[in-house]
């Protein structure tokens, strides 16, 4: 159709030509496009920054000829002002979307995108933290209306109650949430990012631990003479000898222990029970091997026999089909004259690390520091997946035996722990 002023009748009667797209121009780049299926929409051809571009206004007859001309004139004024009409339209849509999108919905969208790389329990913890500290205060606000003061209110409240470490983690999550909102074209700037300057320093968590071998032996012996459940005493002895994290100890199953009567006694903790990213925890190569000393192997063997037909090496007292409760050991240490106020179950890792590193320094064995870190499950950056499972195994076994010999001096035989 020739270029010229359109009429409503022409717009209504316009049809695709021989099944092909047809265009009817109204002037100034405005035209009505008819697809091969008969769908009609208003378009504007224009040039910006030396390039030919096109902007879609919407369908006809929902948008009338007069409305399309008004939209064309608005776009022309934007061009005169040096503004790209297409970008102005996108920005307007983003503002409208941001006005409809509150922080809670934006946060849940970000949360959903992380589920494939997070472990289920971590995803639950993150969502619970958002529901506790963020959503009640600012979750209802449109994300475009949230600035530094609103986010600071959340973080300050967390820090004021002493949850500094959690506040740092929440700050990081909010940065990611607002970054995603930028990608989604809901906002242009991240108001959470500058708040790093008001975050209080995180004090490194220190578990109470006895750091001298003589005191450690004496306290452990005194605690074992007290009245405690046999499985709790056995768990405590293995925790002290092998220095694992308490979590994998509680959930240890019989099939994780191998060659307890041989020279290669070992405890292989599945990757799913280790502190790993989800992608690593789903790979068998990230299983963690603890070489067991003779003393540790004897305790593990006795604990397995004491557990009977139950799969857990350390079953619960009142619910034997479940593992030992999370607080069983902690409570037994906290209420004991031998350990109260000076040592916690997790402290055995610090005891082992401190004493064996000092021993390595005394004997000028500088390479042992890296191996001791490895024995504690601290995976160095950039190391292959098999590193934790097999590297330096001979030396790890020697250090484990040396530690067990030091700690076991004067302790009762493990059979007496059954009391």
Asked whether the beta carbons of 375 and 290 are under 8 A apart, the reply is yes
Nearest-5° Cα angle at 195, 189 to 201: 155
pLDDT at res. 280 = 44
Q: Which of 198, 230, 264 is the last residue of a domain?
A: 198
Distance, CA of 234 to CA of 249 (rounded, Å): 11
Distance, CA of 117 to CA of 188 (rounded, Å): 27
Asked whether the beta carbons of 231 and 300 are under 8 A apart, the reply is no
Provide the pLDDT confidence category of residue 211 given band limits of 50, 70 and 90.
Answer: very high
**pTM over the 0.75 mark:** no
Provide the pLDDT confidence category of residue 98 given band limits of 50, 70 and 90.
Answer: low
Residues 408 and 284 in one domain: yes
Nearest-5° Cα angle at 214, 211 to 218: 105
R_g (Cα) of the chain, nearest Å: 34
Asked whether the beta carbons of 32 and 42 are under 8 A apart, the reply is yes
Q: How far is CA 236 from the centre of its chain?
A: 30
- Inside any domain, residue 319: yes
Please check the confidence at residue 233 and state whether its pLDDT lies above 70: yes
Residues 70 and 107 in one domain: no
Nearest to 299, CA basis, from 243, 260, 268, 255: 260
- Inside any domain, residue 1: no
Residues 281 and 160 in one domain: no
Q: Where is pLDDT greater, at 92 or 313?
A: 313
The domain tally of the chain equals: 3
Residues 382 and 339 in one domain: yes
pLDDT at res. 275 = 53
Residues 73 and 126 in one domain: no
Q: pLDDT tens across 279-314, in order? A: 444 445 568 899 999 999 999 999 999 999 988 999
Residues 175 and 150 in one domain: yes
- Inside any domain, residue 2: no
Q: Which of 272-276, 287-291, 365-369 shows the lowest mean pLDDT across its residues?
A: 272-276
Q: Where is pLDDT greater, at 219 or 88?
A: 219
Nearest to 210, CA basis, from 18, 364, 351, 31: 351
Q: Which residues contact 61 (CB under 8 A, 6 or more apart)?
A: 11, 12, 40
What number is the average pLDDT over the span 350-364? Answer: 94
Asked whether the beta carbons of 97 and 185 are under 8 A apart, the reply is yes
Please check the confidence at residue 158 and state whether its pLDDT lies above 70: yes
Share of the chain above pLDDT 70, in %: 90
Please, what is the angle between helix 347-362 and helix 368-375, to 10°? 160
Residues 242 and 156 in one domain: no
- Looking at the DSSP bridge assignments, the partners of residue 32 are 24, 42
Asked whether the beta carbons of 16 and 40 are under 8 A apart, the reply is no
Distance, CA of 352 to CA of 413 (rounded, Å): 21
pLDDT at res. 101 = 84
- Inside any domain, residue 137: yes
Residues 106 and 46 in one domain: no
Pairing assessment for the beta strands 30-34 and 288-291 based on DSSP bridges:
unpaired
Q: pLDDT tens across 13-71, in order? A: 888 877 788 889 998 899 999 988 888 999 999 999 888 998 888 889 988 999 999 99
Q: Which of 198, 230, 256 is the last residue of a domain?
A: 198
Residues 83 and 119 in one domain: no
Length of the chain: 419
220 CB neighbour count, 10 Å cutoff: 24
**74: CATH:** 3.30.160.390
- Inside any domain, residue 65: yes
Nearest to 56, CA basis, from 41, 77, 40, 76: 41
Q: Torsion over CA of 354, 357, 363 and 367, rounded to 10 degrees?
A: 180
Extract long-range pairs of 391-398: CB within 8 Å, 24+ residues apart.
Answer: 393/289, 393/291, 395/368, 395/371, 396/291, 396/371, 397/291, 397/293
Q: Which of 156, 175, 198 is the last residue of a domain?
A: 198
- Inside any domain, residue 105: yes
Report the phi/psi class of residue 15: left, alpha or beta, with left for phi > 0 and alpha for psi in -120 to 50.
Answer: beta
Asked whether the beta carbons of 48 and 79 are under 8 A apart, the reply is yes
- Looking at the DSSP bridge assignments, the partners of residue 257 are 267
What number is the average pLDDT over the span 72-94? Answer: 85
How far is it between the farthest Cα atoms of the chain?
Answer: 105
Residues 45 and 120 in one domain: no
**140: CATH:** 1.10.150.130
Token pair for 232: 């709790």
Distance, CA of 263 to CA of 261 (rounded, Å): 7
Residues 173 and 31 in one domain: no
- Inside any domain, residue 250: yes
- Inside any domain, residue 96: no
Residues 318 and 409 in one domain: yes
Provide the pLDDT confidence category of residue 389 given band limits of 50, 70 and 90.
Answer: low
Q: pLDDT tens across 187-198, in order? A: 889 999 999 999
**296: CATH:** 1.10.443
Please check the confidence at residue 142 and state whether its pLDDT lies above 60: yes
Domain that holds residue 65: 8-88
């Amino acid at each position: 159709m020739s270029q010229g002023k359109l009429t409503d009748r022409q717009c209504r009667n316009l049809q695709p030509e021989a099944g092909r797209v047809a265009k009817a121009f109204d002037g100034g780049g405005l035209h009505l496009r008819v697809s091969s299926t008969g769908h009609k929409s208003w378009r504007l051809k224009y040039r910006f920054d030396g390039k030919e571009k096109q902007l879609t206004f919407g369908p006809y007859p929902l948008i009338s000829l007069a409305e399309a001309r008004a939209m064309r004139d608005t776009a022309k004024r934007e061009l005169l002002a040096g503004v790209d009409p297409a970008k102005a339209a996108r920005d307007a849509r983003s503002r409208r979307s941001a006005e409809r999108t509150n922080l809670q919905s934006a946060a849940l969208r970000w949360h959903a995108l992380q589920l494939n790389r997070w472990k289920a329990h971590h995803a639950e913890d993150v969502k619970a933290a958002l529901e506790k500290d963020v959503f009640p205060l600012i979750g209802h606000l449109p994300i475009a209306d949230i600035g530094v003061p609103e986010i600071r209110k959340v973080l300050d409240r967390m820090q004021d109650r002493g949850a500094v470490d959690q506040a740092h983690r929440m700050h990081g999550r909010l940065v990611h949430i607002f970054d995603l909102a930028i990608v989604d074209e809901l906002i242009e700037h991240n108001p959470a990012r500058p708040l790093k300057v008001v975050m209080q320093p995180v004090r490194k968590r220190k578990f109470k631990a006895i750091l001298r071998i003589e005191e450690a032996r004496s306290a452990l012996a005194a605690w074992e003479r007290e009245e405690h459940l046999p499985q709790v005493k056995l768990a405590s002895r293995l925790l002290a000898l092998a220095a694992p994290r308490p979590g994998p100890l509680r959930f240890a199953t019989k099939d994780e222990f191998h060659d307890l009567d041989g020279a290669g006694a070992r405890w292989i903790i599945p990757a799913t029970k280790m502190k790993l990213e989800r992608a690593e925890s789903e790979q068998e190569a990230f299983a963690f091997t603890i070489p067991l000393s003779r003393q540790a192997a004897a305790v593990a063997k006795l604990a397995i026999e004491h557990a009977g037909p139950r799969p857990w090496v350390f079953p619960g007292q009142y619910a034997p089909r479940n593992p030992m409760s999370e607080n069983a050991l902690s409570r037994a240490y906290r209420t004991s004259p031998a350990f109260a106020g000076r040592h916690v179950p997790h402290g055995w890792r610090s005891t082992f690390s401190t004493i064996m590193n000092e021993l390595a320094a005394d004997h000028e064995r500088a390479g042992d520091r890296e191996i001791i870190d490895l024995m504690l499950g601290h995976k160095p950056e950039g190391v292959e997946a098999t590193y934790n499972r097999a590297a330096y195994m001979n030396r790890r076994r020697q250090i484990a035996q040396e530690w067990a010999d030091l700690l076991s001096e004067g302790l009762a035989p493990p059979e007496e722990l059954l009391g």
